[in-house]
Amino acid sequence: MRFLLSTGFLAFLIASSWHAPGQAQPPAEGELSEPGELDASGDESLDEDTGSLETPELRAPELTMPDIGDLPDIELPPEEDEEETPVAIPVNDSADPTANPWRRPEQTFTFEGYMRLRAVLWNGFGLSRDRDEDPGAFRYFRNPDRNVVPAGGCGDNANPTPDQSPTGADSCGGQDHHRFASMRLRLRPTLSLSDEVRVHATFDVFDNMVLGSTPAGLVYEPPTGSGSDQFTRASRVPGVYSEIYNDTQNPQSSLRNSLRDSIVVRRAWAEVSNRGIGQLRIGRMGSHWGLGMVHNAGNDIDGDYSTDVDRIMFATQLFGLSGFVSYDFADQGVQRLLAEDSIRNSLRGIPYDATNSDDMRQISAALAWRTEEGEAQERIRQGGSVFDIGLHITARRQSFFGRLSNSFSSTADFENTQDRSDPDNIVTTYAFARRDMRVYTPDLWMRFRTGGLRLELEAALTVGEIGNFENVFSEAQPYEEDPYRLLQFALAFEGDYRVPELDNKLYIRFAGGFATGDRDIDGLSWNDRNELDQRGDRTFSQFSFHPNYRVDLILWRHIMGRVAGAMYLKPGLGYDIIRSPRGRLFGLSADVIYSRAAFEAQTYGSDPNLGLELNLAAYYRSEDGPGFLDGFYASFQYGVLFPFQGLGYLTDENGVPEVPTGSPAQNPDLTNAQHLRVILGVQY
């Protein structure tokens, strides 16, 4: 397959070279040949005209479709004699256009991105069930000082020998809120060599760094061999004798004072366009489709998760249909660089894939009928309607699972693969296990727009099989041929209507979604970490939305991590008090979200009703910056979740909650959770 792709791309590049830069036609006025520009303009309109999201989406997803633009008819340039190729002369050195025939434009360097600061208050996300025995979904949010007695006590008066009772006067009590702020600066530079050749990158600076988390007094000391075998925190740092002396923040550095570096590169990719053929994209890039239910680029200013893929993609447009096909390097398994001592000792070596057997191979393809956004806006303005539709398919396959057995550990933590030629010889460098996995994910998206109405739908299906999902084998747990099937389905719908009589300021919206559940697993949160624990059958049937496709502020966004195994209904409305044609915006919105599990057996309280959530928001955007969505951005959001029995304790036959015992006694009643957020940002 890769050979075919390579051959195809080679042919493509040869064809591209035929249209040498010096011979390409300049874009017509108003014509956008860069996909990002087309997408941006289209999604901006989407945002402004539909207000489909619970908060104003300032920068619409980057890539709804690898749109190669409004391609002109193929016009072959006249052949020129190589002898007549103009010699190098300074660009724009003549006012006479005939003396300076058009040539490729100057390199340009553009920046997009945002800087954001988010201050949040998570109150009661554990719903008062955060014991060790409680599910990870709730325990994840437990304050570590909740009901504990620190040295000196937590009461009004310091006490050298405090009362150790968790409910005594010296206990820190039942505080169950987290209050903090984090930030991110995103830079998305684009280097354009011409209209046809561009290089893109995405950098994240202080990526969701908790403010105040790298003070001068915080230094991790690596293992020294003299003590414990782990990274430790330095007890005293010169000049910072106590935390009260912290007078500066150090740059983030992974394993020195944080687990993340101060700057990471998230994407880097290039695109090469040929106006008559299509576009080639190569590198690590974002992936987005439809509403973002499955593939979500996470480009919005409030996004946290994204789909980033290592990909070679070819996109084209024929007969009004846009399409692409790509090969994705989803997982290469073990790398030689880490495995070989002789290479590991060097920082110069070139890493390479140790074997193809453990690779996860993925092929993606899509076909869409999408009206060019400028034309769509014009048609809607004239009272017409616009219907867009597309199908995206991903096929994924893996034969083996591979792993280094001793990359960072002195002892192998699982039974090693045997050498076929010598069964007594245990290979200690690599270990492989048969996986036999193949998964297909078709994803259908459609959108209908007329007047102030937008109806948008995405439906996806995951079907496939995993021959074995165990990573660890031993004599006690040998390989078994006991395949698991994948059969999952999900649907997301968004509809909104902007009232033209009120200058599109009032919008009414309704969103709903459904993701199949799995009655053979316990819990709905990814923090439960038991999605593979099948009690009964061998079918994984729980569908998980992309975590960046968000429908609320508390339940799915945080406690469960993403929508999975449930349905939700979300009516809402909003009003833009200020809505300037230059981009200034100030408005209010309110949404109500009702959530219900697909299978009551999967819930924590064996009840399908999960909760009712109310979300309120006030948002503001200034009109600074050259782009319509650029400027200062501020948002205030409040949410409250009223949990239902599905999130509560199991009950016995008499209906009495089975509350874990211990001190202090646990309240069988769930408490409400609240969320307060302030977002300050600048988008550019």
Partner 1 sequence: MRKLTLMWLCLLLAAPALAQDAAQDEAPAPESAEESTPEAADSEVEPGDEGEVEAEAEPEPELELELEPEPEPEPQLEIDPESLELEVDADEEEDEAEDVTDDAVDLLAESEPPSSDPTVALPTTPQPIFGLHGYFRTRGEVYDNFFLGRDGLINPTSGLRDLSAEPGAFRYFRPADRGLTPAGGCGDTEACGTDRLSFANMRLRLAPTISLSDDVQVHMMIDAFDNLVLGSTPEGSAYLPPGAAGGMSGQFTNPARSPGVPIDSFAATQNPSQALRNSGRDSIYVRRAWASVRNRDLGQLRFGRMGSHWGLGMLANGGDGIDADFSSDVDRVMAVTKLFGIYAIAAYDFASQGQTNQLTNDLRGVPFDLTGQDDVRQYVFALARREEERAAAERLASGNWVLEGGLYYVFRSQFLSSAGNTDPFATDPTFVRRDARAHIPDLWARFRMGGLRLEVEAAAIIGEIGNIENVGYTDDPYRLLQFGVAFEGEYRLLDDKLSIRLYTGYATGDADVNGLSARDGLLAQEGDNRTVSAFNFHPNYRVDLILWRNIMERVSGAWYLRPGVSYDLIKSPFGRLFGASLDVVYSRAAQEVQTYGSDPNLGVEIDFALYYRSEDGPEIFDGFYGMFQYGVLFPLAGLGYAPSVENAPGISTAQSLRLVLGVQY
Least separation in angstroms between CB 91 and partner 1: 13
State which of positions 133-172 bind partner 1 (CB under 8 A).
143-145, 148, 150-154, 158-160, 172
Number of residues that bind partner 1 (CB under 8 A): 130
- The verdict on 228 binding partner 1 (CB under 8 A) reads yes
Among 375, 472, 582, 650, binds partner 1 (CB under 8 A): 582
Is 356 one of the binding residues for partner 1 (CB under 8 A)? Answer: no
For residue 664, is the peptide bond before it cis, meaning its omega torsion is within 30 degrees of 0?
yes
656 touching partner 1, by CB under 8 A: no
Residue located via tokens 């406690």: 559
CB atoms within 10 A of CB 493: 17
The residue from 23, 253, 671, 672 that contacts partner 1 (CB under 8 A) is 253
Query: Strand runs (DSSP E) across 467-543, as ranges?
Result: 484-498, 506-515, 539-540
CA nearest neighbour of 445 among 549, 568, 291, 287? 291
Question: Interacting stretch for partner 1, rule CB under 8 A, among 13-21, 219-227, 461-469, 532-540?
Answer: 219-227
Beta carbon of residue 41, minimum distance to partner 1 (angstroms, whole number):
5
* DSSP three-state, residue 209: strand
In the complex, the smallest distance separating the C-beta of residue 100 from partner 1, rounded to whole angstroms, is 20
Which of 6, 164, 580, 667 touches partner 1 by CB under 8 A?
580
Q: Does 6 bind partner 1 (CB under 8 A)?
A: no
- Output 262 or 606, the one with its CB closest to partner 1: 262
Least Å distance, CB 474 to partner 1, is 21
For residue 259, state whether it binds partner 1 (rule: CB under 8 A). yes
CA distance 441 to 445: 13
Between residues 231 and 642, which has the closer beta carbon with respect to partner 1? 231
Q: Does 630 bind partner 1 (CB under 8 A)?
A: yes
Closest contact distance (angstroms) between CB of 470 and partner 1 is 18
Q: Is 681 in the site for partner 1 (CB under 8 A)?
A: yes
Alpha carbon distances (Å) from 51 to 496, 509, 588: 7, 8, 11
Pick from 15, 28, 74, 255 the residue near partner 1 by CB under 8 A: 255
CB 408 to partner 1: min, Å: 5
Verify binding: residue 471, partner 1, rule CB under 8 A.
no
Residues 381-420 touching partner 1, rule: CB under 8 A, are 406-410
Phi, psi of 534 (to 5 degrees): -85, 120
Residues 6+ apart with CB under 8 A from 11: none
Q: Are 390 and 402 in contact (CB under 8 A)?
A: no
Closest to 568 in 3D by CA, of 546, 545, 591, 593 = 593
* Nearer Cβ to partner 1 (232/418): 232
Q: How far is the CB of 644 from partner 1 (least distance, A)?
A: 26
How far is the C-alpha of 183 from the C-alpha of 204, rounded, in Å?
Answer: 10
Q: Which is nearer to partner 1, 121 or 612 (CB)?
A: 121
Residue 617 CB, nearest approach to partner 1 (Å): 12
Structure tokens at 226: 């003299």
The binding track of 586-605 with respect to partner 1, each residue x by CB under 8 A or -, is x-------------------
Query: How far apart are CB 413 and partner 1 at their closest, in Å?
Result: 11
Is 210 one of the binding residues for partner 1 (CB under 8 A)? yes
Site for partner 1 contains 559 (CB under 8 A): no
Residue 244 phi, psi (nearest 5): -65, -20
Q: What is the dihedral of CA 364, 369, 374, 379, to 10 degrees?
A: -160
By beta-carbon proximity to partner 1, the closer residue of 307 and 326 is 307
Residue type, 473: F
Q: Residues 8-19, buried b or exposed e (16+ Cβ, 10 A)? A: ebeebeeebeeb
Which CB atom, from 99 or from 244, has the smaller least distance to partner 1? 244
Task: Tell the smallest beta-carbon distance from residue 256 to partner 1 (Å).
Answer: 6
- Residue 127 φ/ψ, nearest 5 degrees: 55, 25
Contact characters 51-90, partner 1, x per CB under 8 A = ----------------------------------------
Quick one: three-class SS letters along 285-317?
EECCCCCCCCCCCCCCCCCCCCCEEEEEEEEEE
Which of 232, 385, 418, 667: binder of partner 1 (CB under 8 A)?
232
Sign, CA dihedral 247-252-255-260, equals: positive
Q: Select the span of 281-289, 509-517, 593-601, 614-622 touching partner 1 (CB under 8 A).
A: 614-622
Question: 23, 100, 213, 539: which one contacts partner 1 (CB under 8 A)?
Answer: 213
249, 450, 539, 606: residue in contact with partner 1 (rule CB under 8 A): 249
The verdict on 261 binding partner 1 (CB under 8 A) reads: yes
Contacts of 142 (CB under 8 A, 6+ apart): 126, 130, 176
CA atoms within 13 A on the CB side of 431: 18
The correct pick among 229, 475, 481, 501 for binding partner 1 (CB under 8 A) is: 229
Q: Which residues in the 182-201 window bind partner 1 by CB under 8 A?
A: 182-183, 185
User: By C-alpha distance, which of 323, 320, 451 is closest to 386?
Assistant: 451
Nearer to partner 1, 207 or 443 (CB): 207
CB contact at 8 A, 674 and 123? yes
* Nearest Cα residue to 113 out of 251, 260, 263, 258: 263
- Range 528-557, binding partner 1 (CB under 8 A): 547
Q: How far is the CB of 249 from partner 1 (least distance, A)?
A: 5
Tell which one of 230, 382, 474, 661 touches partner 1 (CB under 8 A).
230
Site for partner 1 in 336-355 (CB under 8 A): 341-349
> Residue 476, SS3?
coil
Q: Work out how close the CB of 501 gets to partner 1 at its nearest, in angstroms, rounded to a whole number.
A: 17
- Span near partner 1 by CB under 8 A; candidates 218-226, 480-488, 642-650, 658-666: 218-226
Residues 442 and 392: beta-carbon distance below 8 Å:
yes
Q: Of the two residues 169 and 181, which places its CB atom closer to partner 1 in the complex?
A: 181
Please answer whether residues 632 and 621 qualify as being in contact, where contact means their C-beta atoms are separated by less than 8 angstroms. Answer: yes
Contact residues for 417 (Cβ-Cβ < 8 A; gap 6+): 426, 427, 430, 431, 432
Among 263, 463, 508, 573, binds partner 1 (CB under 8 A): 263
CB crowding 538-561: b at 16 or more within 10 Å, else e: eebbbbbbbbbbbbbbbbbbbbbb
Distance of CA 135 to the CA centre of its chain: 25
